[in-house]
Amino acid sequence: MSQFLKYPAKLHARNVAKHLRTKISDLSSHAIFLSGSTQESYKYSDTAKPFRQERYFYYLSGFNFPSGHVYYDISKDELTLFLPQIDYDDVMWSGFPISIEESLKKYDVDNVLYEDKIESYLNKHKHNLTVDIEQVTNARYSASLSRSEDLFYALDEARLIKDEYEIAMMRKAAKITDNSHLAVMSALPIEKNEGHIHAEFLYHSLRQGSKHQSYDPICCSGPNCGVLHYVKNDEGLEERQSILIDAGAEWENYTSDVTRCFPINGEWSKEHLTVYNIVLKMQKETMAMIKPGASWDEIHLSAHKILIEEFIKFGLFHNGTAEEIYQSGVSTVFFPHGLGHLLGMDTHDVGGYPNYEDADVKLRYLRLRRLLQKGMVVTDEPGCYFNPYLIELGMKDPTQAKFINKVEVDKYLPVGGVRIEDDILVTENGFENLTGITSDPLEIAKIVKDGIAKGRDHFHNLV
């Protein structure tokens, strides 16, 4: 990251203004004012909650401490960061906060001031646009601010396309995540329950400098792998054959999001490998379609068609043609979620414009509903699940039940499900896969077996 001397806050502010002009042609009397997150405590307690910076504010500042504010004078192209007043009573506990001089070196802003100067800035223009009045009300500035849907739009569109700095942050997050997934696959002698898998991933992420996860890791085994966002992570691995871990480390507020599956003992069962290869084919063929101008809707629907063809081949669907089965929507019983989503400062990043009321159930949970553009980062994460609840719903629908071969489907219930997820940068002519951890089933089996062969004594653990 050494080639980037400062967080490119000024570039980001200009990007927002560019998109804002498509909604408001004359911005001569407009400024942008955003507030960051404050440090909160748990209710009825003086114990601090983990701090998470407000992402829109971070995009325009790079400031990752509590109680900051940023002001962008659009006509002057002048960006000002406001630091909270120094609380000298807190210095004993927390040390001195970042100074004005340090901030000028770290962030690409024109001015750094303390927050007692904010009101004088808000008096400069007639329109001070912000995104969340409630957030800044506590900071006593709401009378001078206007909540703007146009600003939401401009921020979302600006964040949609990642610049070189952001891509570098996401590469770093991806590399940490690769190593942590490899560590999980390699440590089966000391992983006796789902919590151990969770712990192994966090441990190796933390050792690499990532103190925060992009989201709560999903670490499941056996039938639990059929639950999309399973976060209990507390059951034993005895008598189970499959592991699914969906986890991504965060770096400087930029995320990764990767899912890998593997057999607990290094030997794929027939059913587990069959499902895995179906999902791998879905991912490979959809990934090959990624390029600027491609429709994410169409890529997603092609994954459904691949699943249907494979299910017919293995006898999981019957009594109909591929087209009849596709039109019935029954593939959503086994692939209920979207193919992927935007990725950036949020795991489900802004700008995707999902339609959760879509009449087509195959598209209802697709979080990205637009053409791909160079600079987007998306996840490609097809899945195939054998969830008893979803199967029961399918069997209750006569238009879908006739296509489900329940006898064959029940054989796959112990597998639970398979998802393979990589992080993909859309490039000028195609894509670059930021995820490096292998998804090849033979290579995965070898990693697991090599780890098992080392035995428990190879690993440093006390419990």
Whether residues 171 and 144 share a domain: the answer is no
Tell whether 246 is covered by a domain. Answer: yes
Whether residues 139 and 206 share a domain: the answer is no
Whether residues 286 and 424 share a domain: the answer is yes
Which residues are CB-contacts of 245 (< 8 A; sequence separation ≥ 6)?
181, 184, 197, 201, 217, 218, 219, 220, 259, 260, 261
Paired with 63 in beta bridges are: none
Paired with 48 in beta bridges are: 41
Tell whether 204 is covered by a domain. Answer: yes
Which residues are CB-contacts of 326 (< 8 A; sequence separation ≥ 6)?
304, 305, 308
Alpha helices in 187-227 (DSSP H): 194-207
Tell whether 3 is covered by a domain. Answer: no
Tell whether 210 is covered by a domain. Answer: yes
Whether residues 313 and 434 share a domain: the answer is yes
Whether residues 273 and 342 share a domain: the answer is yes
For residue 172, give its domain range.
164-458
Whether residues 169 and 132 share a domain: the answer is no
Whether residues 447 and 301 share a domain: the answer is yes
Whether residues 49 and 149 share a domain: the answer is yes
Whether residues 140 and 242 share a domain: the answer is no
Tell whether 1 is covered by a domain. Answer: no
Which residue, of 101, 124, 159, is where some domain finishes? 159
Tell whether 71 is covered by a domain. Answer: yes
Nearest Cα to 377, choosing from 354, 336, 345?
345
Residue 427's alpha-carbon distances to 162, 366, 435, 438, in angstroms, are 11, 22, 15, 21
Which residue, of 142, 159, 176, is where some domain finishes? 159
Give me the pLDDT at residue 132, please: 86
Measured CA to CA, the distance from residue 29 to residue 125 in angstroms comes to: 5
Answer for the pair 413, 223: CB distance below 8 angstroms, yes or no. yes
Largest interatomic CA distance in the chain? 75
Q: Say what the pTM is.
A: 0.96
The number of folded domains in the chain is: 2
Give me the pLDDT at residue 68, please: 95
Q: Mind listing the pLDDT tens digit for each residue in 286-306?
A: 999 999 999 999 999 999 999
Whether residues 152 and 172 share a domain: the answer is no
Whether residues 25 and 54 share a domain: the answer is yes
CATH number at residue 312: 3.90.230.10
Give me the pLDDT at residue 222, please: 98
Whether residues 112 and 197 share a domain: the answer is no
Alpha helices in 262-397 (DSSP H): 270-287, 296-313, 322-328, 388-396
Give me the pLDDT at residue 463, please: 80
pLDDT-flagged residues of the chain (< 70) = 1-4, 136-139
Tell whether 4 is covered by a domain. Answer: no
Answer for the pair 173, 249: CB distance below 8 angstroms, yes or no. yes
Give me the pLDDT at residue 2, please: 46
CATH number at residue 68: 3.40.350.10
Tell whether 463 is covered by a domain. Answer: no
Q: What angle do CA 277, 281, 285 make, to 5 degrees?
A: 170
Measured CA to CA, the distance from residue 224 to residue 387 in angstroms comes to: 9
Which residue, of 100, 127, 159, is where some domain finishes? 159
